[in-house]
Amino acid sequence: MATDLPVSCACGKLKGIAKGVAPKSGNHIICYCKDCQLFQHFLGTADAVLDAHGGTRIFQMSPGRFEITSGSEHLKCMRLSPDGIVRWYAGCCNTPLGNTVATPKMPFVGVVTQCLPDVDAEQPERALGPLKHGVNGRSALGDRESLDAHDSIPFSMLLDFMVKMLRWRLRGDHKRTPFFDAGSGELSAAPNVLSDAELEALKEQRAAFTASAA
């Protein structure tokens, strides 16, 4: 059964709705990659967001079903490097929102579930359906023996994701997303691209966090 989930940043200035959330309409995953961890260090939200293995809970969905209804002036984005994934957040209070690529032609958003207040941290499957995959487990923190995750991204998941994305594109969802200007196809906010020094500083924070998690 599909559910419409409210979207809200922590301070409530940015609000929206994630429409039609269901196991069939997206992918409930946990990503353990370094870059997802660095994004939370950038926001200062690593303690609140990352699990004991450094994982970020994400629901990958159509960006055409993710609506911002108020506070879109607080929509900000950053990139860890000039070619990196575009990582969106609410600038009013540094709540992570989600990840996209830099072009609307590959329409998806990996929604970081911290912006979905109805997702119960203890029972996230109630709202999102069962966890489909843990991915990029080779960058996970702590004891990996106890972790049920793929080393990278399994091919079956990529294939399923491509099929979903094609369906969303055919539906025209790439033309109605808060992350891109419908006319020009440009990102709707200019990304803050980190300098080498800023990136190094985040890596040091991650190393310190890793040490404290171990």
Coil vs helix vs strand at 123: coil
Residue 96 burial (CB < 10 Å; 0-12/13-18/19+)?
buried
Measured from the CB atom, is 36 or 202 closer to Zn ion?
36
Strand ranges across the sheet with 3-8: 3-8, 15-21, 66-70
| CB nearer to Zn ion: pick between 33 and 127 | 33
Nearer to Zn ion, 131 or 176 (CB): 131
> Which spans of this chain sit near Zn ion (rule: CB under 5 A)?
9, 11, 13, 31, 33, 36, 90, 92-93
Shortest Å, Cβ 173 to Zn ion? 22
Can you tell me the distance from the alpha carbon of 139 to that of 182, in angstroms, rounded to the nearest whole number?
36
CB of 179 to Zn ion, least distance (A): 17
Measured from the CB atom, is 22 or 93 closer to Zn ion? Answer: 93
Rg (CA), the chain: 16
Q: Which is nearer to Zn ion, 75 or 187 (CB)?
A: 75
Smallest distance, Zn ion to C-beta of residue 78, A: 14
- Can you count the helices (H) and strands (E) in the chain? 5, 11
Tokens linked to 101: 């690529």
Residue 106 DSSP class: S
- Closer CB to Zn ion, residue 11 or residue 163? 11
Dmax over CA atoms of the chain, in Å, equals 49
Gap between the Cα atoms of 121 and 43, Å rounded: 19
State residue 120 phi and psi, 5-degree precision: -75, 120
Q: How far is the CB of 106 from Zn ion (least distance, A)?
A: 16
> Least Å distance between CB 136 and Zn ion?
6
| Contact by Cβ (8 Å): 30, 51 | yes
DSSP state of 194: P
Min separation Cβ 70 and Zn ion, Å: 11
